[in-house]
Amino acid sequence: MPKKKPAKKPAKKTTKPARKPAKKTARKPAKKLARKPAKKAAKKPARKPARAAAKKSATKRKLKSPAKRPVNKTRNSAGKPAKKPAKKTAPRKATRKKLPAPRKAAPAVRKAPRNTLKSEPAFVEAAAIRPMPTPKPLSIVEPSRPERRLVLVFMGPPGVGKGTQAAKLATDLGLPHISTGDLFRDHLKRDTPLGLKAKEFMNSGRLVPDDLVVDLVMDRIAAPDCRGGYILDGFPRTVAQADRLAQALAVRGERVSAVLYFDAPREVIVERISGRRTCRACGAISHALYSPTRVPGVCDACGGETYQRTDDEPEKVRQRLEVYDSSTGPLVPYYRDSGILHEFDARGSVDGIYQGLRRDVEALG
């Protein structure tokens, strides 16, 4: 019998990878995938590990399962509207409770050390327990007004003796005696700005303006020694100066307290002035009739020569009196109408006139 040929082993089928189905979209049709040529089996291993095969089988199951329809989230399977998910709230931060502030401890009461002597009792100083003193009721205190100064003005024609009376009263009351002639000489000697201005007018033969004279006086009464009052001798000389002085004092809250006017007949005044003698050395004044020197023409104080000034001659004295009556005379009714004028007869003795003057000043208060 012929020998049977051995049967050929069937060729092993090579497994090809499964084709991936095209993704279905609502709007665009699925794209056709081109078939890829089969790979040669020689190049692939005969068997794959079990894990790889399991993965492939899982992918096949997914591809074969029908696509799931989109679930309407607003309705559940029963057709009822779905409940809205609860809003997520952030966890609250843990807050610490504020503890009340600790109360301040009362001040400790210091006890005084015990006294060793039995005669002195021990005591305890308790400042916190002491009762508060009752406050005093507030009282409205009006501001104190400055005391009004005593402002005296001495008036009278030249040679009437007003300067003598003013100097005596100033000594008794302790008030400064201010004369315009002395003021001019003092400012000219010190070359002050006011003195230099006055010098310009005097050198040119012109009268010193009233404003400049008032400025000299106001500068003097601003000194500390005039706080209690002062005496003005021979100022003001015109009504314009009197008005200017009243305005300057009103700014300080002051006014003229009294005007003391001394007068005498004109011939008596001429006799007084023309008999006056002056020492060339020391300036002492004597009178040929009322107070003559022991030796005529010789000063009793220093032995110097005495003489009569040219402006003390009788004719010059009469001219000066006429100028006074025309310029200063209107001041008499001016102050009389103000009610502050006090008139004195200058023909009496110096002491007799002074007694009447002192009475009137004391009555001013």
Q: How many CB atoms are closer than 10 A to CB 240? A: 14
Point out the catalytic residue in the list 220, 244, 276, 277: 276
Active site residue 96: no
Do residues 293 and 186 lie in contact, with contact meaning Cβ atoms separated by under 8 Å?
Answer: no
Point out the catalytic residue in the list 149, 244, 272, 320: 320
Burial 299-332 (b: 16+ CB within 10 A, else e): beeeebebeeeeebeeeebeebbeebeeebeebb
Point out the catalytic residue in the list 162, 220, 244, 277: 162
Rounded Cα gap, residues 67 and 70, in angstroms: 9
Burial 196-206 (b: 16+ CB within 10 A, else e): ebbeeeeeeee
Nearest to 179 by CA among 203, 152, 149, 199: 152
Backbone angles phi, psi at 360, to 5 degrees: -65, -35
Q: How many CB atoms are closer than 10 A to CB 214? A: 20
Which residues, 6 or more positions from 358, have their beta carbon under 8 angstroms from its beta carbon?
Answer: 169, 172
Point out the catalytic residue in the list 168, 199, 237, 358: 237
Residue with tokens 């001798």: 233
Active site residue 162: yes
Active site residue 320: yes
DSSP letter string over 4-64?
Answer: PPPPPPPPPPPPPPPPPPPPP-SSSPPPPPPPPPPPPTTTS-S---HHHHHHHHHHHHHHH
DSSP letter string over 307-343?
Answer: E--GGGSHHHHHHHHHHHHHHTTTHHHHHHHHT-EEE
Residue with tokens 């021979």: 234
Point out the catalytic residue in the list 252, 309, 336, 359: 309
Nearest to 169 by CA among 257, 86, 99: 257
Active site residue 359: no
Residue with tokens 């089969």: 38
Active site residue 43: no
Which residues, 6 or more positions from 63, have their beta carbon under 8 angstroms from its beta carbon?
Answer: 18, 20, 21
Do residues 45 and 51 lie in contact, with contact meaning Cβ atoms separated by under 8 Å?
Answer: no
Rounded Cα gap, residues 247 and 226, in angstroms: 18
Active-site residues, by number, are 162, 237, 276, 309, 320
